[in-house]
Amino acid sequence: MTDAGRAVGVQAPGGRLAPGRVPRNAPAQFGPPAVRDVNLLAALFALVGIVLPEELQISVGPGVTFTPGRVSAALLFFPALLILCRNGRRFVLCDFLAPATAGWMIFASVGSIGVSAIPTAGGDALDFLGGYLISRAYCFGRPALDTFVRVLKVLAIIVIILAVADNISGTLIIHNVANFAPGDQGLREGWVRAASTFVHPIALGVFCALTAAILLYWEKTLLSRSVAAGLCFLGCFLSLSSAALMAFTIIMVAFTYDQLLRRYSWRWSAFWIATSILMLTVFVVAAHPLNWIFSHLTFNPQTGFYRMMVWDVGLTYIAQSPVIGFGYQFNDIILDNTVDSIWLVLSLRFGVPMAVLFFLTNVATFFPSQRDFNGTSDVHMDQMRCAFTLVLLMFMFTGLTVHFWKSMLTFWGLCLGVRASLRELSNH
């Protein structure tokens, strides 16, 4: 059977995959070597842009800067758009929600600050929408998806090796050699918090945890899965980030649960029911649910209480301008210093509609259908659907205590685009 046949899951009359059959309207990126080379270059360009230090940025004018991730997004933006719009591709709901989300960033910023906010808001919109369009266009079908994951795997290994070097040397090597100033150079539990090439240790840790989810489902043998999970855990541990370690633990539990009960189609229904009951219990029993999460699921409860104070102040500001927010300057000593939650940041900067659009964009890529519960004829692609659903859920969950920006926001967009392409394949 060809990779193309596996990628689209072509059904024979008896319910099995028909070897070598490809639909008449199948996109051109299935199979041909030249197209595979294009997919490889696109994956390299996009993912290298994410792991390169953000400080390697180019300033082209007042407020206009291009990080490595933005350079990749800008150069591939229109080619990706053309590929996505050509004959044979079919749009899904998130293809409309993602541009609406990026557009609201700019619209709300202009409404709250004025046209001077366009360069900054446009950069954030490019980070998110650029990543989404690149993977949506170039990561469609099994060969392209496998290429994307292989590149991610190699880059993750390099990043983790550099994190080990940070820990052994007792200093953030990449940042010190290049004379960068990372967001956090302090110690935790007497250890240096590794950052590798990322701007902050938390970004490194969350990146490793999310990569673990992808590799666990992509690798085929117990040994390769164990090695991948071990390396990613090492990256999470060296970052000493409670958000990363918590995400990694949840990923391992969810993966183990899925593998043990994979013969039963009801496993995810039961999982979501149990999760909903647990969340409902926390919200009913705890007087302040977020306060319980921050104080019980972080290394240092003091940071949890500080985050809760930030939420209290932030919610007060949001009530004053719930539709368009305040842009990028709040004139508050707490909020202008740090806001450790992407959901709070989005609501403060661009209003509540922005947070709602962003949430719906994520959910639209994996909202369960009957096929998601029953699976398709391609077990590998079913596994990857689970992987990227788990990645997006962990992005959303860790976003309660982490603010993702620039390269990590682009990585979020890339994972959204991959999951949207997987949904397009399963729908058609």
Establish if 290 belongs to a structural domain.
Answer: yes
Q: How far apart are CA 405 and CA 150, in angstroms?
A: 24
Domain that holds residue 421: 29-427
For the CA atoms of 103, 109, 111, 115, the dihedral, rounded to the nearest 10 degrees, stands at -100
Backbone angles phi and psi of 23, in degrees to 5: -55, 150
Look up residue 97 and give its two tokens: 């929600």
Q: Which two tokens stand for residue 343?
A: 């959901």
Percent pLDDT > 90 in the chain is: 57
pLDDT digits (tens, 9 = 90+) for 106-117: 999 999 999 989
The whole-number pLDDT of residue 25 equals 41
Return the higher-pLDDT residue of 299 and 17.
Answer: 299
**Residue 349 falls inside a structural domain:** yes
State the Cα–Cα distance between residues 27 and 200, nearest whole angstrom: 39
CA distance 361 to 419: 11
The confidence score (pLDDT) of residue 419 equals 96
The pLDDT tens digits for 12-21 are 333 434 333 3
User: How many domains does the structure of the chain reveal?
Assistant: 1
Question: In the prediction, which pLDDT does 75 show?
Answer: 94
Read off the pLDDT band of 93 (50, 70, 90).
Answer: very high
Does the residue 11 lie in any domain?
no
Q: What are phi and psi of 192, to 5 degrees?
A: -75, 130
Residue 24 belongs to some domain of the structure:
no
To the question of pTM greater than 0.85 for the whole model, the response is yes
Residue 10 has pLDDT above 60, yes or no: no
- Taking the C-alpha atoms of residue 155 and residue 49, their distance in angstroms, rounded to an integer, is 11
| pLDDT of 139 over the 50 cut | yes
Highest mean pLDDT among 30-34, 190-194, 227-231, 263-267 belongs to 227-231
Output the pLDDT for position 88: 80
Calpha distance 175→173 (Å, rounded)? 6
Judge whether 14 lies within some domain: no
The predicted model gives 347-356 an average pLDDT of 96
Q: How many CA atoms lie within 13 A of 409 on its CB side?
A: 26
pLDDT, tens only, 147-184: 999 999 999 999 999 999 998 988 888 877 766 655 44
**Residue whose structure tokens are 């007087």:** 287
C-beta separation of 174 from 162 below 8 A = yes
252 pLDDT more than 80: yes
**Does residue 238 carry a pLDDT above 60?**
yes
* pLDDT value for 37: 77
Mean pLDDT taken over the chain:
84
Adjacent-strand bridge partners of 58: 66
7 in a domain, yes or no? Answer: no
Is 301 inside any structural domain? yes
Q: Can you tell me the mean pLDDT for 325-351?
A: 88
Question: Mapping DSSP to helix (H, G, I), strand (E, B) and coil, where does residue 170 land?
Answer: coil
Which residues are bridge partners to 418 per DSSP?
none
20 part of a folded domain = no
In three-state secondary structure terms, 11 is: strand
Q: Is residue 331 predicted with pLDDT exceeding 90?
A: no
Look up residue 218 and give its amino acid: W
pLDDT, residue 82, reads 92
- Tell me what pLDDT residue 294 has: 65
Say what percent of the chain tops pLDDT 70. Answer: 82
Q: Considering only 4-8, 215-219, 345-349, 351-355, which range has the smallest mean pLDDT?
A: 4-8
10 Å Cβ neighbour count for 158? 12
pLDDT band at 196 (very low <50, low <70, confident <90, very high): very high
- The strand pairing partners of 65, in sequence order, are 59
What CA–CA distance (Å, rounded) separates 126 from 121? 9
* 360-391: pLDDT as tens digits: 999 999 886 655 555 567 889 999 999 999 99
